[in-house]
A and B are shown apart, each in its own frame.
Chain A
Amino acid sequence: MNVPADLRYTDQHEWIRVEGDTGTMGITDFAQHALSDVTYVELPEVDREFAKGDELGAIESCKAAASFYAPLGGKVVEVNESLDDEPGVINTDPYGAGWVCKLALSDASEAGKLMDAKAYEAFCGDEN
């Protein structure tokens, strides 16, 4: 399982990369594997505000739709529109081309409360 060291993680298997006051989020390698072939991504609306833990959107795979949530609170500033045409990149490159959206974070320091790579790896280990 791929767990990049420079990201923060939630117990719902989202990741977030914080750069300044902006957070780029997506779903983890563990989550994409659990969902298998992603066929559609319901993206959040740009400019909408979300509190931490609010439902941002959903990922649809073989006959299943799974919700994903805001790792941190903030306003959506950009969504990965290329997922409309190529949702499968969530499976092949979940931490890169498969990013889901960018948030203008209301408090970037909150990221420190999320799991780091080591803690997340342990968390996934427990789940198995």
Chain B
Amino acid sequence: MRELAYLDLGRRAYGPVLEIQRRVLARVQREGDSASRLLLVEHDPPVITMGRRTRSEHLLASAGTLAASGVKVFRIRRGGDVTFHGPGQLVAYPIISLARGARPVHAHVRDLEEVTIATLRNFGIASERKREFPGVWVGDEKIAAIGVAVDKWVVYHGLALNVGADLSGFDLIVPCGLDYLGVTSVSRILGRDVPMDEIKPVLLECIEKIFGVKLIALPPDELINGNESSKTSASAPAGVA
């Protein structure tokens, strides 16, 4: 079975992780599939990211409010609309080759949705994709955002699953540009505080099954060394070699 190395970056700021994504992307473009990596991260401090064509009115908070709350805004090159990342949200970035188009982009996005749905199923939560809206939904509430970018047939960015109960960061935006639908999280639905370390192994197992790969843990320093900025409190999670 194909092996895929993964790194659990713990809690980490968005900017440095975006840099890490770009570095892995360049390596996969240069060296091929063996350089592929799966990154797991919780973004801290919170950020708002906007896709290529996000309309600025989907950002509800004023510049002043954002500055006061310490929330930075990144405009990035993925598909999809505006979204929020913060502590309590499990983010997975599989940076992998689509073999120059032989593996369709829509199949990759579908797999990301399937990974999310299967993970939630393990917790007894029934979720679904909606044909017209991206992401994964529990009823009319969004539990995970999905958005990817493709550069020279290598895919990056990925999925963001709301785990913790605090969803106040979403008040700053119109999630995915849909103003009449809400957001939810695993902890809210289960009515208990679900720790990251409980959900991570389940997500990894679902990725193995659905992507058809064997995941190999790498220490986070593999990609962090040489990265000047923000050595935040990486809370060395269980299960990382």
Contacts and interface: CB of A to CB of B under 8 A. Distances in A.
Contacts of A66: 105, 149-151
Chain A contact patch, size range: 20 to 34
A77 interface: no
Nearest to B131: A62
Interface string A52-90: 000000101111111101000000000000000000000
Contact of B104 (A34, A60, A124): A34
Interface string B98-111: 11111111101100
A60 B102 contact: no
Contact of A64 (B53, B101, B102, B149): B149
A64 B109 contact: yes
Interface in B110-150: 134, 146-150
- 8 closest pairs, A vs B, by CB? A66-B150, A65-B79, A36-B106, A34-B101, A127-B102, A63-B134, A34-B104, A64-B79
Interface in B80-99: 80, 98-99
B188 interface: no
Contacts of A47: none
Interface string A94-121: 0000000000000000000000000000
A13 interface: yes
A61 B53 contact: no
B134 A65 contact: no
Nearest to B51: A65
A58 B38 CA distance: 24
A22 to B, nearest CB: 26
**Residue of B148, B150, B153 with most chain A CB atoms under a 10 A cut-off:** B150
B37 interface: no
Interface residues of B, number: 28
Interface string B151-171: 111010000000000000000
B152 A64 contact: no
B77 interface: yes
Given A64-B147, A65-B148, 10 more contacts: A11-B100, A34-B102, A34-B105, A34-B106, A37-B106, A64-B79, A64-B155, A65-B150, A66-B149, A66-B151
B146 A63 contact: yes
**Residue of B105, B134, B147 with most chain A CB atoms under a 10 A cut-off:** B105
Contacts of A58: 52, 77
Given A11-B100, A13-B100, A61-B79, A67 B152 contact: yes
A34 B98 contact: yes
A33 interface: yes
B200 interface: no
A34 B99 CA distance: 11
Given A35-B106, A127-B102, A64 B150 contact: yes
Contact of B77 (A34, A37, A65): A65
13 contacts: A34-B106, A58-B77, A60-B79, A62-B106, A64-B78, A64-B79, A64-B105, A64-B109, A64-B147, A64-B149, A65-B150, A66-B151, A69-B152
A65 B134 CA distance: 13
A16 to B, nearest CB: 17
A62 to B, nearest CB: 5
